[in-house]
Copies of this chain bind each other. A is one copy, B any other.
């Protein structure tokens, strides 16, 4: 009995220790964190699986990132802010973040060795919800900014990544199986002072047009307009 109690206490302290090294604070409601790391493939879960927490954490993380960008980038329009946010809250980013803050070792599943990355990204979202429910919104916001955004995101680097709206639009259109084309609509002016008008067609309907001094620039400008209009 004593041995069993000792083992239990050791197991508990290991979980708490690992958690502390990830979070940097001592949690109050430890059961929320057990739940956050428990994948639905595990049967007979003592604290339930992490799917409801993931639902909540996703929205909280999204809102904190949104406010952060709103405050930090006062000169940027909402189309640009949307681009930044898309990158920061994408599934790919969340899956990577989970590994960076080392919660992949904490996640329990019944999937054997082949665990999809999304399991970790989902556990990351669930962890955010656990912190929110355990410590409140002000604490959780600060955690996201100080322990996630500031160490792992660079707004300058993100800006470079999303600088091509054309690339971004094409990626979206292909993902959603939509036909599109960039078409030169007109070409005016003298040789040294040309003006090109490009139309962007989505499923045979024109959704944006733009003028510029080169076809490439007009394509980029029309893609930007389309991304903003379609809120993608």
Contacts and interface: CB of A to CB of B under 8 A. Distances in A.
A63 B59 contact: yes
A56 B77 contact: no
- The 8 A-B residue pairs with the shortest CB-CB distance in the complex, in nearest-first order: A59-B66, A63-B63, A55-B78, A51-B78, A59-B63, A56-B70, A52-B78, A55-B81
Interface in A109-141: 129, 137
State the oligomeric state as a number of copies. Answer: 2
A67 interface: yes
B59 A67 contact: yes
Interface in A19-75: 51-52, 54-56, 58-60, 62-63, 65-67, 70
A178 B176 CA distance: 9
Interface residues of A, number: 24
A82 interface: yes
Interface of A: 51-52, 54-56, 58-60, 62-63, 65-67, 70, 77-78, 81-82, 129, 137, 176-178, 203
| Most B Cβ at <10 Å: residue of A58, A65, A178 | A58
Contacts of A137: 137
Nearest to A57: B66
A180 to B, nearest CB: 12
9 contacts: A52-B78, A52-B81, A55-B66, A58-B66, A59-B62, A59-B65, A60-B66, A177-B177, A177-B178
